[in-house]
């Protein structure tokens, strides 16, 4: 998936600085396309631009249209067919067609609406920008479109007019326990688009020597997850199978919006975990959020295979609910 960029933020800054700003957004694609629906390009009134809608193939034309749109204060719906020669140059082996919505900030897209979008993104609050170019109706919503939010899938609705741009926060994975499995899990999670954070109070385990370049919190897990937060785009994976470390973090996760909780341990270990949590008053529904033993049953043997099973299960929960 595309990483969480800062294109709306850039457009808002340019607009507020008096430069003028336009947002160009991919609303539909046919055939192969170098950028997915929802990808954006910000253009200033001085011709600066950030982001991409086509990997470089049509950006120049979009910038020209954006400058015209900024001058006359209207939106544009652009359509580009990529020729076989151009397609090969930008990695479109089969060619393709894209539609791009061009919206001047302040004149078409209200500044207040863009500011609210930026605020939601900074707060890690999932939100959708909904626009009907024909009617001019524009709004931000945080409910509805459950499949689009779950699949990170922007697109045009069945009416053929309403475009929904999903702005999900980056996926995050909090890994409690800097053990061998974590050494495989963390880099694999990053490849899947997660921002991983290791939490382990044992500095000999959670060290840069063992996890070079990683973000490590040498805090008790309950303090660590409290500081980082557990929202609907966060997965929590507990690998210590030590109740002193795991349970306090689990207790926070079960009453949060975290989308995935996985806890290492055998079936017997998990049964004891359930008993402890029941004794503390947690409900069966809350406890059922915990995937234990962690990971899909793929016959994992090595730490890397266990990490693979965890990410497979995490992906299943994220995409299928």
Per residue in 152-190, pLDDT tens? Answer: 999 999 999 999 999 999 999 999 999 999 999 999 999
The pairing of beta strand 40-44 with beta strand 49-51: antiparallel
pLDDT in tens, 271-304: 999 999 999 999 999 999 999 999 999 999 999 9
> Which positions ≥6 away from 104 have C-beta within 8 Å?
20, 21, 22, 66, 69, 70, 73, 74, 75
Which domains does the chain possess? 7-167 (no CATH), 171-320 (3.40.50.720)
Residue 254 reports pLDDT greater than 50: yes
- What tokens does 178 get? 């800097």
Q: Using CA atoms, how far apart are residues 23 and 13, in angstroms rounded to an integer?
A: 12
Reported pTM: 0.85
The mean pLDDT of the chain is 92
- What tokens does 156 get? 């045009």
pLDDT in tens, 188-225: 999 999 999 999 999 999 999 999 999 999 999 999 99
Q: Using CA atoms, how far apart are residues 233 and 160, in angstroms rounded to an integer?
A: 29
Q: Using CA atoms, how far apart are residues 253 and 247, in angstroms rounded to an integer?
A: 10
At 200 the pLDDT is: 96
Cα torsion 142, 139, 167, 79 to 10°: value is 140
Distances (CA, A) of 280 to 17, 246, 262, 276, 320: 54, 15, 19, 6, 30
- What tokens does 314 get? 């995490």
């Amino acid at each position: 998936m595309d990483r969480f960029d800062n294109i709306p933020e850039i457009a808002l800054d340019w607009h507020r600085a008096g430069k003028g700003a336009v947002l160009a957004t991919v609303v539909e694609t046919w055939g192969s396309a170098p950028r997915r629906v929802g990808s954006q390009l910000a253009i200033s009134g001085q011709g600066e631009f950030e982001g991409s809608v086509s990997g470089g193939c049509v950006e120049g034309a979009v910038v020209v249209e954006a400058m015209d749109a900024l001058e006359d204060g209207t939106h544009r719906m652009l359509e580009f067919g990529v020729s076989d020669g151009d397609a090969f140059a930008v990695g479109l082996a089969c060619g393709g067609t894209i539609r791009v919505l061009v919206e001047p900030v302040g004149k078409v897209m209200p500044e207040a609406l863009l500011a609210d979008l930026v605020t939601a993104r900074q707060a890690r609050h999932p939100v959708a920008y909904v626009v009907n170019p024909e009617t001019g109706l524009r709004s931000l919503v945080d409910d509805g479109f459950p499949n689009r939010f779950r699949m990170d899938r922007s697109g045009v609705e069945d009416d053929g007019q309403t475009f929904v741009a999903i702005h999900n926060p980056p996926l995050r994975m909090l890994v409690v326990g800097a053990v061998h499995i974590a050494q495989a899990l963390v880099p694999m999670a990053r490849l899947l688009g997660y921002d991983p954070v290791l939490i382990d109070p044992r500095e000999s385990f959670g060290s840069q020597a063992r996890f070079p370049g990683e973000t490590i919190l040498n805090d008790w897990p309950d303090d660590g997850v409290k500081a980082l937060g557990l929202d609907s785009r966060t997965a929590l994976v507990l690998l210590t199978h030590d109740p002193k470390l795991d349970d306090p973090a689990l207790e926070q996760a079960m009453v949060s919006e975290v989308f995935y909780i996985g806890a290492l341990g055998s079936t017997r270990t998990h049964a004891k975990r359930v008993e402890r949590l029941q004794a503390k008053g947690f409900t069966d529904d809350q406890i059922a959020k915990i995937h234990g033993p962690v990971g899909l049953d793929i016959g994992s043997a090595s730490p890397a295979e266990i990490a693979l099973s965890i990410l497979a299960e995490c992906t299943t929960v994220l995409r299928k609910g």
